[in-house]
Chains A and B, each alone.
Chain A
Amino acid sequence: MKGWARLPVYSVSQITRYLKDVLEADALLRDLWVRGEVSNLSHSAAGHYYFTLKDATNQIRCVMFRPALGGENLVDGGAVAAHGRVSLYEVRGDLQLYVDLVQPEGVGERHLELERLRVKLEAEGLFQESRKRPLPEFPKRIGVATSPFGSVWYDIQNIIQRRFPLVELALAPTPVQGDGAAAGIVDAIEAMNREGGLDVVILARGGGSLEELWPFNEEAVARAIYSSRAPVVSAVGHETDFTIADMVADSRAPTPSAAAELVVPDSEELGKRILFHRRNLFQQVSGNLAARSQELDQTVYRMQRQAPDVPSWRQRIDDLSNAYRRALESYLVMRGERIKALESRLASLSPNSVLARGYAVVQRQDDSELVTSVSQVASGDDLQISVKDGIFPARAFS
């Protein structure tokens, strides 16, 4: 009885506090999946779920606070797997499972684990769209993390050789299935980070079972992809396979061949674009030339309209000179006729016509002076007498 008395006495709060600490220090209880049947489900106005998980004989109280995932999987009597941690609700002294994720039961353990990792990495922001980097349009160096054996590496080389051979492919060899695969992929991505200068990285493997693709769902691989210096294109398995690696990668391709097509442009398409540019260049310049040539034509036309019309002036000069010549000719003709008229008038006034009527003209022989008076003539002077038909000499006497 004495021993009893020596034991310390605790308050309820001290004990609940202690229990809570013990529970929360336990590694198993901190992070675990519990499967069971849902009962006593209630959904609070605040969006939290309260329920009990039970099996044939036992049960545990559960609470799931908003915004945990998978609340839609909760129905009374339904079989689920709940992920969370075990702790104590001190106010009531209730031991509870604090649930953050509920999956319908019947899903394999791998899927449960996959879902758990997905939720965790998503919460850390590894899948955020805003973090996804764009792929370069014209990469120069492309890193490829895959197995050096098998068709994936071969297909990638072939497609890039055909589409855009202006690049260097840097292979980082890694196993892509089996125990060493996750570590190998991490090592390959680290090798590419060390190498540097890569514009884009392809992480690829061919199709396989969920188990074969498993390395691409490992947390270490997800974090390595996240740490890659170059944007990562994941191409794991077939189109329907979706791995954690696909979610972290900057781009996801449905197959390795599709990844090769995604990272480089198609040189045939580029050739068409170059041809289009050349035609455009030609059209721009010939259009420019045509416009200039039309401008020039118009300017020349305007200039020609402004310039003197030489042929018409020449014709006008011709016309004028013809008119002048005609005027001159008719003037000359007219003059000629007047001269004839004057001549005939002159003829009529000539002494000859008087002589014809019987008069005679007397001139002195020595000085041809016309004799019009007797005083001009002395006896013995030689005279010249003109009559109608000739001249005869005569001598004065008295």
Chain B
Amino acid sequence: MKELLEYMVKELVDKPEEVNITEENEDDKTVIFKLKVAESDLGKVIGKKGRTANALRVVMRAASAKRGKSSIVKILD
């Protein structure tokens, strides 16, 4: 699922080469994605009032639901 997040985020930012995502299993069912982007791109992945971040989370939640999991996306700053 990491690939999906990476695929979307890389299209959103100015510096795709600085996109870095780590995936951690919190338990059997929960995956945490820690998303790191260039400082100048932070605003792009968060969006006004966090709208972009929320939309990314919704899409990731859909993908993980299909796989019987839940996912958490954390944006590191």
Whether A associates with B in a native complex is no
- Measured CB to CB, the residues of A under 8 A from B are none
